[in-house]
Amino acid sequence: MASAYRSVAALLVSVFLLLSGNGLLLTIIPLGARAHGHSEIEIGFLGSAYFVGMLIGAVINPAAVRRSGHARAYTASVALAVIATLGFAVFHQAWAWILFRGVLGFCFAGLYATVESWLQGKSENAVRGRVLAAYSVVQYAGWAVGNQLIGLDEPTSFTLFSGAAALLAAAILPVMITNEDPPERPSSPELPLRWLWRTSPIGVIGVFLIGAANGPFWSLTPIYAAGIGLSSGEVGTFMTMLTIGSALLQIPIGRLSDRTDRRAVLVGLVVATGLIEVFLAAAGPLPRLVLYGVGLAIGSVLATQYYVLVSHVNDRSGPERAVGVAAVLLLAYCVGAIAGPVTAGYAMSKLGPGGLHVHNAVVHAVLAAYVIWRMLAASRPPATVSAAPARSPN
């Protein structure tokens, strides 16, 4: 296990720096848009634009990795993300921010797919859940650090956007100076969408629904927090509690998912998340400490879902498909995350700030029901003995 961590240590340091910059952007972009007078619908489109960019990036990135290799594709994506980040400080119009947000999404699609396929190529099935859990812990630690930087200046300031750009640029260094070789360039020329659908429909549908909930959760929670009366500093603290919570259970859940049916673990996480969302939607004003505690709790169960599902899918694929599988899962996630902020933004415009949690509770109820249905369908004996598959897709 220690050798598995050592082989990806430099990559994880890069991820920490990368996500510190992205964590700062995650909060200052919606708050800055609000300060510039953008409407809630426009802010919702900001969230969707990010995932439109991610969708395009998920389609294009595998070819870039095949052509240039993991390290060069990673570096190019970071460089473009730095340029887009500085654009927020120069232009204040809604259309410009939506455009730059889309460019950031495109870049981070390349970064996530490259990093995750790199990790998949360096880990075996027996430790995959824990390696991805460590990766997720590093992500959320970076987000937590980034969110604490919001108190340095106003969310529209050049200081914060240039600081985010500097963190993104620094993320290039560990990958460039490490003596660990990246995985070999993938040879598969296509996105294995049909293969993945046949092999693991839970992976495709599940990631889509997780995107439909996570997209609005992370892009609109600052608006929810401000809408219930939190100051800019308190919004940053609340987002930090979410990210700390997101890291708390990653290793324990990763270890549990390595030892038992990952689908059952996923159902438990989804149900717990939905119950907390129902509470937040129904509860009145909460004391700050209680609200921070609830944020810690929902972060801990929400953030572990994606990588439990990714580990489940990658158990059924090989290293040669790692980049393609990562891209398809990201594609499915983005389709859900494009629609999610718009529909959740509409729910918030009709129901108030709590509409975000009403929206996500419904999405998580559908996800839990679908996974349970697939598990039951896979456990049923075949109707006929002849031509029965060795195992049902799941």
Q: What is the CATH number of the domain that holds 212?
A: 1.20.1250.20
State the chain's mean pLDDT as an integer: 82
336-354 as b/e: b if 16+ CB within 10 A = bbbbbbbbbbebbeeeebb
Rg (alpha carbons) of the chain, rounded to whole number: 20
State how far the Cα of 77 lies from the Cα of 53, in Å rounded to an integer. Answer: 12
The number of domains in the chain is: 1
Look at residue 193 in the predicted model and tell me its pLDDT.
74
| Per-residue model confidence as pLDDT tens digits over 99-112 | 999 999 999 988 88
Tokens of 248: 């708390």
Please check whether residue 3 lies inside any domain of the structure: no
Asked if pLDDT for residue 244 goes beyond 80, the answer is yes
Please check whether residue 386 lies inside any domain of the structure: no
Q: 0.85 exceeded by the pTM? A: no
Please check whether residue 186 lies inside any domain of the structure: no
State how far the Cα of 252 lies from the Cα of 255, in Å rounded to an integer. Answer: 5
pLDDT band at 296 (very low <50, low <70, confident <90, very high): very high
| Per-residue model confidence as pLDDT tens digits over 322-369 | 667 777 888 888 888 888 888 998 899 889 999 999 999 999 999 999
State how far the Cα of 127 lies from the Cα of 139, in Å rounded to an integer. Answer: 19
- Find tokens 């930090």 and name the residue: 240
Please check whether residue 141 lies inside any domain of the structure: yes
Nearest to 271 by CA among 365, 374, 357, 376: 365
Please check whether residue 112 lies inside any domain of the structure: yes
Look at residue 279 in the predicted model and tell me its pLDDT.
93
Note the Cα 259 to chain centre separation in Å. Answer: 24
Would you call 286 helix, strand, or coil by DSSP? Answer: coil
Asked if pLDDT for residue 164 goes beyond 80, the answer is yes
| Per-residue model confidence as pLDDT tens digits over 199-222 | 788 888 999 999 999 989 988 898
Q: Which domain holds residue 294?
A: 10-180+191-379
Residue 208 CB neighbour total at 10 angstroms: 21
Q: DSSP assignment, residue 182? A: P
Please check whether residue 1 lies inside any domain of the structure: no
Tokens of 32: 């800055």
Look at residue 386 in the predicted model and tell me its pLDDT.
40
Contact 216, 366 (CB under 8 A): no
Mean pLDDT of 264-279: 94
Look at residue 178 in the predicted model and tell me its pLDDT.
73
Please check whether residue 391 lies inside any domain of the structure: no
Please check whether residue 4 lies inside any domain of the structure: no
What distances in angstroms separate CA 63 from CA 13, 86, 313, 348, one per listed residue? 25, 27, 21, 39
First to last CA, the chain: 28
**217 phi, psi to nearest 5 deg:** -60, -50
Q: Position 104: which residue type?
A: L
For residues 240 and 19, which has the higher predicted lDDT (pLDDT)? 19
